[in-house]
Amino acid sequence: MQSGAIRPIPNMLPRKLFTSDHEAFRETVRKFYEKEVVPNIEKYEQQQHVDRDLWNKAGELGLLCTTMPEEYGGSGVDRLYSMILIEEQAYAMDSSTGFSLHSDIVANYINNFGNDAQKQQWLPKMATGEAVTAIAMTEPGTGSDLQAVRTTAVLDGDEYVINGSKIFITNGYLCDMAIVVCKTGNNEKGSANLSLIIVEADRAGFSKGKPLNKIGMKGQDTCELFFDDVRVPKANLLGMEGMGFMMLMKELAWERMLVAIICQAGAEAAFAHTVQYTKDRKAFGKAIGTFQNTRFKLAELRTEIDFCRTYLDRCMELQLEENLGVDAAAAAKYKISDMFSKVVDECLQLHGGYGYMLEYPIARAYIDNRANRIYAGTNEIMKELISRTL
């Protein structure tokens, strides 16, 4: 049986994105996952969330909110550091930690759209792990249709009164704060009245459901959130009222890149495990990796993985230049998550019966991967976004 993190097989075309500083950071992240996460994955899956103190340990090592400005507790580094964090999580074949949503989505909303008081209040605590955060968009019955949001925030004097519910919320069970997508104003349908409001978890009327019983990613904290006359001060409004949809659209491209990154690295990890397995596993007196069918299948997968890696790294270059288009990000999310599904399915097949056993990382990768084609916008929505540019 294979377990733990594995190093990916070097790409046929060497990567050129990272400096020695990036690689030193990668080593720190790798050791963190090997020491703190991999030995506890089964425990996290049983309790359906990571231990709360894991967030504090990550914060102590500077693994949270790294791209945030130093004045707000971050390291002020580029998004390649985020890429490294996600890749090392995937190489560890871990789907439990919700660090990227906290550090690269929630933190970005606050840093890009919040005022100085909101930044000072939340970003330093997020960087240390003192505060765990979530973003509450999806609702029962709305799926990818953000314009159909029904959660309302009605202004009453100097407070918003929030009513509604959210579902499939990553980090929801442990969160100390959630950015909630609400309808404000006259509550008309459409995007014109969407707003983002910061809601602390200890507010009266804010409650959490039990962690949702998913088919995969069982260790990741995912739950429902409920808002029953939750009162928050008007100062908790993020940005301007009615600008929520615009803010969401601005950040969703990066969120889709995050999914593409974890799928790419996940495919590389699954492939590396499978190559090693085919070298170790014997049938008919020799390693199954020597059979032509195995060698050809691995060659096909290797080629698809490397082609997607080249596209993804180019997207990251454009992201660093702030020139990445919504359509390119959508294509990365759609194509690479589809590729990961194909790779992990073929790799499980090469494991034979053992691939169906959860003791083997390939089995966990198989069931954990499926959500990647759904969240951050389904792949069908990605195709719609791409088609609009034609």
Catalytic residues: 255
Report residue 339: phi and psi, to 5°. Answer: -60, -45
The string over 58-91, giving b where at least 16 C-beta atoms fall within 10 Å of a residue's C-beta and e elsewhere, is bbeebbbbbbbeeebbbbebbbbbbbbbbbbbbb
3-class SS of residue 29: helix
Looking at residue 345, its amino acid is D
Report residue 330: phi and psi, to 5°. Answer: -65, -40
CA–CA distance, 323 with 197 (Å, rounded to integer):
28
Query: Residue 106: which of 25, 149, 154, 170 has the closest Cα?
Result: 170
